[in-house]
Structure 1
């Protein structure tokens, strides 16, 4: 146990940078340079390399390998078996500086999605199951498919926004949004 975190006896955790309330489950490996925030949940059979940063309240489902250069901000959800890369043109034994990938606050990545190195996934954005993400995804955008394509907008809870009077509307949140310079912006009441 480090800093009030739970580490399963079969996990190999080398880092000292684990936030309070974080849980690391069976057969996971976390290298010494990784930084993991508070209240994270690292599920069974995950691998986290040295140059990886996880914010607070991040969920990493089973079977995910997080390579050097990956940052997940607060409240990110990574579904089971999401695949990340950190080299666009890999060659055996040819060391390169890892390409950086950023998953912004509140984003959710669907199970079995593949994320190309160097991608930024915006705040509260969402990818569907099995998506192959080959380009940046804007805040609040819903993308899915192979390759993943824009399919709509979602609110902070992941509900698809409805179109109403040339505005986007969240029934669940009772909020209106509009597009401004290609970005979804919440309208103040």
Structure 2
């Protein structure tokens, strides 16, 4: 049972800490409310679990043999983060009550995870530390991670939804969007610099 607690603690530390996916969840919760933001939360969680299981079942070996592939993933990730930052910065600040379908989609959440170097590092480190390539452990870790990841990203969306009640003015929303855009851009710059 201690191993499962350790897996859950690792998943929590990796999932709830600030990162691009969580920043988008926060911004989406503030802009569109909780329910539309849960698409992003679910997509990010499913995308991460597919990445985690793929790493567990051999993508790690492929990346070891083709380091340029990992570098390409990192650059695509940085480009995607900058694209998301641009979209946030250009947003008009009008709240999405009339059209809640405009929020981040499940696909955007999943793509963000596959292009997120933080997600790759968590997958590689977690699989290396907890599974040793054993299929049963991979699936156990993935099941634990699914629950913890979904709840962690949802916390950010909930926090954003709580901000929403204070964001009735389009100017405030634009300011929040620009702060979120700056944070996304800063995380992209950090990834390039490190």
* Same fold at TM > 0.5: no
Which structure is higher in helix share? 2
TM-score, L = length of structure 1: 0.22
TM-score, L = length of structure 2: 0.22
Higher relative contact order structure (alpha carbons within 8 Å, sequence separation ≥ 6): 2
Which structure is higher in strand share? 1
